[in-house]
């Protein structure tokens, strides 16, 4: 079974940084598209950053603060988050897609609070 295993979430103070990782297992292929999404309590899930092929895209709220990258050899996608704000608090989900197939990680909690 293909799984996306996330790690790196946690509690940080405002202005701090976190690096999320999402490693794909159970597959030999490299996802054509990978992305990070987040969902805060009472809010809809939203796209934070994505990478189609090697092209990164970012939500306006993430531009200049977040960086998405991936290591194809490890089949892992990363999200470097800097200058974190309380409004970044959410469950962050990793998504991978290849062809018509879509896979989601279990989500990792990111809490930005003093």
User: Which one is predicted more confidently, 29 or 95?
Assistant: 95
pLDDT at 96: 92
User: Which one is predicted more confidently, 18 or 25?
Assistant: 18
Mean pLDDT of 54-68: 96
Mean pLDDT of 94-104: 91
Task: List the one residue out of 13, 27, 21 whose CA is nearest residue 92.
Answer: 21
The answer on pLDDT for 18 being more than 80 is yes
The answer on pLDDT for 99 being more than 90 is no
Q: What is the separation, in whole angstroms, between the first and last Cα of the chain?
A: 39
Laid out side by side, the sheet with 76-81 consists of: 3-7, 18-25, 76-81, 66-71
């Amino acid at each position: 079974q293909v799984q996306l295993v996330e790690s790196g979430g946690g509690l940080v103070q405002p202005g701090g940084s976190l690096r999320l990782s999402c490693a794909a297992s159970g597959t030999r292929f490299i996802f054509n598209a990978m992305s990070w999404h987040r969902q805060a309590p009472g809010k809809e899930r939203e796209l934070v950053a994505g990478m189609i092929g090697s092209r990164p895209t970012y939500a306006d709220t993430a531009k200049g603060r977040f960086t998405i990258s991936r290591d194809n050899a490890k089949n892992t996608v990363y999200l470097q988050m800097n200058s974190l704000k309380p409004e970044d608090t959410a469950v962050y989900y990793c998504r991978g897609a290849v062809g018509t197939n879509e896979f989601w990680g279990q989500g990792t909690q990111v809490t930005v609070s003093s």
